[in-house]
Chain A
Amino acid sequence: MIRADTIIRILRIVFYVTLALSSFAALACIGIFFVAVKDLPRVPEPLIRIIETPPTEIYAATGEKIMVIGGREYIPLSRVSQHFIQAVVATEDHRFWEHHGIDKVRTLKALWITFFTPGKVQGASTITQQLSKNLFFSFKRKYMRKFRELLVAIQIESQYRKSEILEAYINQIPIGVGAHGIEQGARTFFGKPASELTLAESALLAGLPKSPTRYNPYLHYDRAKKRQWIVLLRMVAVGYITQEMADSASHAELNLQKLPARARTGSYFLDIVVKTLEERYGPEIVHHGGLKVTTTIDPQLQSGAIESLQKGLIELEKMMGVYTQTIDSTTAMITHPQGALVAVETNSGAIKALVGGSDYSETEYNRAVQNNRLPGSGFKPFLYYAALEKLDINPATVFVDQAVTIPVIGAEDWSPRNFGLKHEGPMVLKRALMKSVNSVAAQLVEKTDPEKVIRTARRSGIKSHLEPVYSVALGTSGVSPLEMASSFATFATGGVKHETFWISRVEDALGRVLEEHIVSGKRSLDASFVYQVVDMMRGIVDEGTGSIVRRLGFDLPAAGKTGTTDGYYDAWFTGFTPTLSTSVWVGYDKGEGLWDTRGTGITGGRGAAPIWADFMIKATDGEPHREFVIPSDIRFEKIDPITGYKANDSTLNPMRIALREGQNVYENIVGDETIDDSQTGLPQWLR
């Protein structure tokens, strides 16, 4: 039996300890309170100040707004759908209208769960606390931060009416895909103002702030729908709606907007625009300065480019037999080929469409700009131009397609091979380019000099580093699709080079001009030599390695060049009409070649040219038939593509070539099979 004095002693200890602890706790609370208050942030007055950041707006060349950075569209509570207000309150803080910043009952419940349910952490932040956190604090989990957030919430409750607090809250919550605040959210996701949101739409949007990425309906529609259902159930529980209304709303169809203006999805182009702006003006001005930026992009061409590239990559995968295998309920990791497409307006250098990969949401790496992949034979037009300019040759000059070995000082001899590993003997230059014959290209670069080829590429617009080796003429230095499209545009304009650009005008929020692009072309290549190359490149599209373009139905005058690298790692097609130059690249990001199901390598003609054709058919729809400008000193002759002699009635498959003033082709007067080199206009070194 415990004696009374023992109990008294215990009671005494408990009493004094409790007294001491309470006093200590009280003092500690007072101390912490004053410490916390000391650095507590000032609450702005009025709370509307939160929307003062002006947005930076980016426009397409057509005037369509394509992106908004920062900024808020503040709207009063009266212009927000009642459904949304109820959905937010029911989901986030159903006792919002009753408490004074802290929901004590919910907090006690949360504490109980956090402390006594292993592995569970329950939150109990009220709308005011969330507003306090969003406006002033970082998202680091610290007790002092939480306490300060609580104090600011209490102050906000004392300083503002409930309606003002809720108004501020719904105007700043992150909804997802770049939208902040309900007005932007409603317009971004449903293309309507917040006042017109239905119950289903409200429930969907009210569920997003918890995790805008995780519940992004564009990427995870099912998750977003589940979250919508939870919101609807909360509304039923709080008594805002009936179960029937919730059921009906959950089955209602959601008409999500296509390609939201604020979304980053599919915006490889916007990436380079924002990057350029940040480099020129600094991130502060871009994100907080409220710029009005007019770009060069044509939304119709851009969506056509995305569509063509995605469609082309699907076709390519089919050709290659790439599909996602499901083995024992587990999905095998399959890598997919990638692609890029850039379209440049030839007479200005303006980028009209740019796609840097198959899907921006999966990979943000911009292959159109950042990728330096080997262009292969796609580089040959620069070689042919350099050769025409330097050597005394013309498109009718005969070369012999044969095995060649070129000695290289200080290195191994260079022995390039043709793609088909076959040689066809004599042929004229135009035919050699049309068939992309490497042995002829090798002979040309040996006589022309790699440095001269590089200078031509530079004059055309190639900026990447190019190795001064013979093989540079066969595209063994990496370039980007943007460079290819831009440099081929110089051929399209008859040798006038325009600097590529994507921003045409920048203004501040008050409309004062900060910069405007001046479209200036410089003659960098000779018009007549250019025309001869363009004419040869037309042959590629009409009858050569790129003739699939014609078979697919593209019938406007066009010139282009295919490119394929060893091991079929890269497949290119870069081509142009007089108005638009487009480059398409397809390949794997790393270490894999493109092979079809039969084990045959996929060339630029098979892999990239169909994408080019599909895009160009859409891009030039309704355009008149426009020929390339023919310089006054150019004349045309029909020749025998093997002998280079002027064609006559007995010539099989005569070929049309472009000759400059003073250049001649000769008639085969003798009529026998002997080619008299001294009469064909061949330079001495070729005889």
Chain B
Amino acid sequence: MMDWYEPRDLKEWAKRLFAVRHLVLMLFILSVFISELRFDWFEQTVGSYLVTTNSKRPESGAIWEIGHRTITARQTLDKIVTDRQFLQREARGATTFTQMVLNILPNKGVMLSSEHFRKIYLTLPQTIAHKIASPFEMLRLFSDGSWVRTYLEKAGDDLKIYLLNANNRVLKELEIPSDLIQYIERVDMALTGTLEDLPSFENRIYSAAHFFTALRSLPQEDLRSVVSQPEMLLSMSGHIVRVGISDEAVSGFIELGFEIEDGTRRKVILLQGREWAVWTLRSYLEEKKGELNTNGTSQNNWM
């Protein structure tokens, strides 16, 4: 094969330019060009190559961004809904007022059926239930059928309860102050513990015998001012072993804790006595304690 050399004159250039081989080549190039116009084989080749690399390329661009935003939005919504449903479920599963309140977070109220709230209301001791709402009012709302749902939400440390009709209109608004909530919590807690679990009683715990002896020495008409619901205590299984008197007076009342032994279990029932009556009783109890100390027969404590 002869080495390529540069044409030396015009004739040589022309000769080479119009050589059969070159014309054939040009025709070939031209046919390739025309066939590309006609059959788009170049685009098809590039397209096929791009299809093979598609799965390795990034999910970028407007449509993917919208897709990602949609996924994020769905996930956020799912979280909101799941959290809400969780709180609702927990609240609906609550059997005591304290459990129900524990599931209410700030800015996240819970909705209960009127039936469910009625059941929880009935678990409360009568004195507390009366403080929350008059049972007659509850009865009225429940019987006329307008009360359908109950919405509970935190308002600072207090609790707000809205009794709603089917159109979400408030039929009755109840406000439970934080001190009452705390008291209810203590009542619930006391149901499964001893007087030592309740710090407000730690300074004044008396044996049941000593307490009731002192109680007996009060005038007959004052007894109910100390123990407002003796029937409730009577209805309890087991027997009262100790009684605690709280150091604090709230709104003219002082709390009394009756520790009941029922087989191997112990529980405390809380009642409220009128402040003046409990003070009188306390002075009797302290007097008795002093007498016994003087007689040299006192015990270290009254348990």
Interface positions of A (Cβ within 8 A of B) = 4-5, 7-8, 11-12, 33, 37, 39-45, 49-50, 52-54, 99-102, 104-105, 134-138, 151-152, 154-155, 157-159, 281-282, 284-285, 287-291, 348, 504, 508, 512-514, 516-521
Contact = CB atoms under 8 A, between A and B. Distances in A.
A517 to B, nearest CB: 7
B123 interface: no
Contact of B151 (A11, A50, A154, A518): A518
A348 B169 contact: yes
Given A284-B73, A288-B73, A519 B168 contact: yes
Contacts of B59: 41-42
10 contacts: A8-B10, A136-B64, A155-B50, A281-B77, A288-B66, A289-B70, A290-B73, A514-B80, A514-B84, A518-B162
A320 B55 CA distance: 69
Contacts of B67: 44, 49, 52-53
Given A40-B57, A155-B47, A158-B44, A508 B77 contact: yes
Contact of A285 (B53, B73, B84): B73
The 10 closest A-B pairs by CB, nearest first: A158-B47, A136-B61, A100-B40, A289-B73, A155-B50, A41-B61, A288-B73, A100-B43, A135-B63, A520-B170
Interface in B1-60: 6-10, 13, 37, 40, 43-44, 46-48, 50-51, 53-55, 57-60
A11 B70 CA distance: 63
A468 to B, nearest CB: 28
B54 A42 contact: yes
A42 B58 contact: yes
A13 B48 CA distance: 39
Contact of A11 (B13, B50, B167): B13
Contacts of B164: 518
A288 B69 contact: yes
Contacts of A151: 46, 50
A159 B47 contact: yes
B7 A8 contact: yes
B47 A135 contact: no
B81 interface: yes
A8 B72 contact: no
A128 B230 CA distance: 88
Interface in B139-177: 151, 162, 164, 167-170, 173
Contacts of A8: 7-10, 13
Interface residues of B, number: 47
The CB with the most chain A CB atoms within 10 A, among B62, B64, B77, B170, is that of B77
B204 to A, nearest CB: 43
Given A44-B67, A159-B47, 18 more contacts: A8-B8, A11-B13, A37-B53, A39-B58, A42-B64, A44-B64, A102-B43, A104-B37, A137-B62, A151-B46, A154-B46, A154-B50, A155-B50, A155-B54, A284-B73, A288-B72, A514-B84, A518-B162
Contact of B70 (A39, A43, A53, A291): A53
A65 B7 CA distance: 82
B169 A158 contact: no
Nearest to B153: A518
Contacts of B55: 42
B109 to A, nearest CB: 9
Contacts of A53: 66-67, 70
B54 A43 contact: yes
Given A155-B51, A157-B43, A519-B169, A7 B62 contact: no
A45 B54 CA distance: 10
Nearest to B165: A519
A136 to B, nearest CB: 3
A291 B80 CA distance: 13
Contacts of A281: 76-77, 80
B74 interface: yes
Contacts of A348: 169
B134 to A, nearest CB: 19
A159 B51 CA distance: 7
A294 B72 CA distance: 23
Contacts of A138: 62
A508 B9 contact: no
Nearest to A282: B76
A680 to B, nearest CB: 42
A52 B76 CA distance: 17
B170 A512 contact: no
B44 A520 contact: no
B85 interface: yes
B40 A99 contact: yes
Nearest to B46: A154
Contacts of B58: 39, 41-42
B9 A4 contact: yes
Given A41-B57, A517-B168, A519-B170, A134 B62 contact: yes
A288 B66 CA distance: 8
A58 to B, nearest CB: 16
A33 B58 CA distance: 17
A516 B51 contact: no
A151 B48 CA distance: 11
B168 A42 contact: no
Contacts of A152: 50
Contacts of A135: 61-63
Nearest to B43: A100
Contacts of A157: 43, 47
Contacts of B169: 348, 519
Interface in B257-298: none
Contacts of B9: 4-5, 8
Contacts of A134: 62
A379 B203 CA distance: 61
B37 to A, nearest CB: 6
A157 B85 CA distance: 47
B298 to A, nearest CB: 58
B295 to A, nearest CB: 63
Contacts of B63: 44, 49-50, 135-136
Contacts of B81: 508, 512, 514
B19 to A, nearest CB: 15
Contacts of A519: 167-170
